[in-house]
Amino acid sequence: MKTKNIYFAIMFLTVFTFTGCSDFLEVEPKSSWKAESFYSSREEAELAMSGIYGTLANDDVYGQRFNILLEAGTDETYTNDPNNPTWDAAKYAHTSSDDAIKGIWLRFYTCIQLVNQFETNLNPEMFTTEEYNSLLAKARFMRGFCYFTLANWFGPVPLRLTPSSSQEDNNVPPSPVFEVYTQAEQDYLFAAEHLVHAKSSEYIPGEPNKMAAHGLLARLYLRMGGFQPYLSENDAESYFENNQQYFEKAREQCEIIINDGWHGIVPYSADPLSYRNHFLSYLQDRYDLKESLFEISFGNFQSMGLDVHGRLGNVNGVEFVGTQDIPRGFCKVNVGLPVYNIYSQEDMRREWNIAGYRNKYSSANQAYTMSYIFDFPLHQEYGIGKFRRWEPANIEALKAGNMTDAAYTILNNTPGSDTDPNFTSINFPILRYSDVLLMHAEAVIGGRFGTAPANDAAVNDLNMVKERAGLDPYTGSLNHDDFFKEIVDERLRELCFEGLRKQDLIRWNLLEEKLTETNEAIKNHALYVNNNQYHQTYLSPGINFDRSKHFFLPYPLQETLINQSLGQRTGW
């Protein structure tokens, strides 16, 4: 992740990246590098790690399709594009040949292939034991993250732990979900033991770190303790009788981070704009290491010249479309009506997460018109504000009425945007401290299917998150079901648009219920129009969702053709 390494990193990716265990071209390498001898120094090992990190900073994954397109179709977001097949997956209208599904499979398995190559060929004789374990820990952290994510989205998947080098290596049957989770657990545990703390002088911002590994272990255990869509009703009933061990493990992992005391969130009492200022760090290529435990980096890689593609704030940004290149935003997904409904007006997160404005160019009068649409949540360009690239210079004046050619402030100055204004440098948050607090509160009560009431620690977790939002402490019921409902709502308020909601709803077995509630809210809203094409598009996820098939993605069609041991799942 150092500038002087950039050209080597690019060459490394070109030579060694294996295309998702799919299409392998046997060509004579022009470089003298070989996988078995490349990782012979600290510099070469760090170059390899840059290649591993870069696989997820891609348009197919955290640049756009995975965290924006595939996350849409919940009570959090839905697409407003009625006819473009690119957005079929957001409407549960996708097929096994969908490019987005092929792309995320390819990128995650490319990352795994690079990790396996790294692990196999890293020469321990060239490093101290501490250095060797630290390098392995970074790589295994990434492999654990990839396998956990693949299992969440695809269910049983091929578990590859050695490098693939031929077409025959593709023929690997899918492993049961819990075997994949167990492998992710082993990788995370090794990472937690051998990675440095983010406060260490040795730590490089953007890389994996010790507390991030503990936090993602907690997320893994909550998933292992939650609803398992592949189980029959009888098996699920038996499973839930024995799943509380995972909530205890999740609680322990969260408490390692909480008791360590270094990570935290800036309270409202110290900074009323704490929430906003934290997200400005993602927009402006700064690392807020106290609150952000791990994020996918785009800005650093772009500044070094790496070909990484981030579209945060562009595809899912506040609309700014016309003759201007910056700050271009298309608002292809909308803030869901339940998000608008769930905030109180006092909540400081409300007007950051929901932009509530737009700037549209009119060819008729050759000018932009800036509009304030906050209280029109069914508007076709009701944009996400969390990753905004711009904001009005005078929001109070805008609230008073539409403004032509109004002044605005650019919040994200993206390197390279002069060549393609659709790409941004905004990093994507994977794990924040507020998530750790809310996971701990959930673990204390045993998740949705537990019975334990909330205790003082769980309430304190919740109140830390609420206080930063400028809200009064929670005074509701400590009964398990009531407190669980508050966690469900608070995670939406705090963590919306961060790629977590769909998997949260799945592990709680609430996805179908929330889709139904969302459609009822839309159809009962005063602004709903039955023949409005955008309003009908908002309804499509709830109409199309089929619980017999849509908890998991289909295996990509080309993978079932290449991997003779991977049969397509029922319904696809």
- If asked whether residues 227 and 326 sit together in one domain, one would say no
Task: Please check whether residue 45 is in contact with residue 128, taking contact to mean a CB–CB distance below 8 angstroms.
Answer: no
What one-character DSSP code corresponds to residue 354?
Answer: B
- pLDDT-derived band at 10, boundaries 50, 70, 90: very low
Mean per-residue pLDDT, 22-29: 38
- If asked whether residues 255 and 340 sit together in one domain, one would say no
pLDDT in tens, 210-265: 999 999 999 999 999 999 998 877 777 677 777 899 999 999 999 999 999 999 99
Residue 502 lies in a domain: no
- Name the domain count of the chain: 2
- If asked whether residues 205 and 347 sit together in one domain, one would say no
- If asked whether residues 82 and 168 sit together in one domain, one would say yes
Residue 297 lies in a domain: no
Is the predicted pLDDT of residue 13 greater than 60, yes or no? Answer: no
- If asked whether residues 86 and 221 sit together in one domain, one would say yes
Buried b (16+ CB within 10 A) or exposed e, 268-307: beeeeebbeebbbbbbebebbbebbbbbbbbbbbbebebe
Helices marked H in 226-273: 233-240, 244-260
In this predicted structure, what is the pLDDT of residue 304?
Answer: 58
Name the residue range of residue 402's domain: 320-423
In this predicted structure, what is the pLDDT of residue 323?
Answer: 67
In this predicted structure, what is the pLDDT of residue 37?
Answer: 59
Q: How many CB atoms lie within 10 A of CB 567?
A: 11
Residue 221 lies in a domain: yes
Residue 471 lies in a domain: no
- If asked whether residues 327 and 190 sit together in one domain, one would say no
Mean per-residue pLDDT, 258-286: 96
Residue 292 lies in a domain: no
Q: Could you say which of 423, 453, 484 is where a domain stops?
A: 423
Q: Could you say which of 367, 391, 423 is where a domain stops?
A: 423
Task: Give the CA distances from residue 321 to residues 414, 420, 421, in Å, rounded to whole numbers and listed in that order.
Answer: 17, 14, 11
Residue 462 lies in a domain: no
Task: Give the CA distances from residue 47 to residues 295, 302, 404, in Å, rounded to whole numbers and listed in that order.
Answer: 19, 16, 49
- If asked whether residues 339 and 191 sit together in one domain, one would say no
Closest CA to 370 of 420, 324, 336: 324
- If asked whether residues 337 and 254 sit together in one domain, one would say no
Is the predicted pLDDT of residue 567 greater than 60, yes or no? Answer: yes
- pLDDT-derived band at 301, boundaries 50, 70, 90: low
Contacts of 340 (CB under 8 A, 6+ apart): 354, 377, 382
DSSP-based three-state secondary structure for 535: helix
Q: Tell me how far the alpha carbon of residue 111 is from its chain's centroid.
A: 16
- pLDDT-derived band at 5, boundaries 50, 70, 90: very low
Distance between CA atoms of residues 91 and 220, nearest Å: 27
In this predicted structure, what is the pLDDT of residue 98?
Answer: 95
Residue 525 lies in a domain: no
- pLDDT-derived band at 365, boundaries 50, 70, 90: confident
What one-character DSSP code corresponds to residue 468?
Answer: H
State what percent of residues in the chain have pLDDT above 90.
76
In this predicted structure, what is the pLDDT of residue 306?
Answer: 62
Residue with tokens 């500038």: 3
Residue 341 lies in a domain: yes
Q: Report which of residues 308 and 250 the model is more confident about.
A: 250
- If asked whether residues 12 and 105 sit together in one domain, one would say yes
Instruction: Give Dmax (Cα) for the chain.
Output: 70
- If asked whether residues 253 and 338 sit together in one domain, one would say no
- CATH number for the domain that contains residue 76: 1.25.40.390
User: What one-letter code names the amino acid at 23?
Assistant: D
- If asked whether residues 197 and 337 sit together in one domain, one would say no
In this predicted structure, what is the pLDDT of residue 30?
Answer: 43
Distance between CA atoms of residues 545 and 223, nearest Å: 21
- If asked whether residues 352 and 230 sit together in one domain, one would say no
Q: Could you say which of 423, 456, 474 is where a domain stops?
A: 423
Is the predicted pLDDT of residue 148 greater than 80, yes or no? Answer: yes
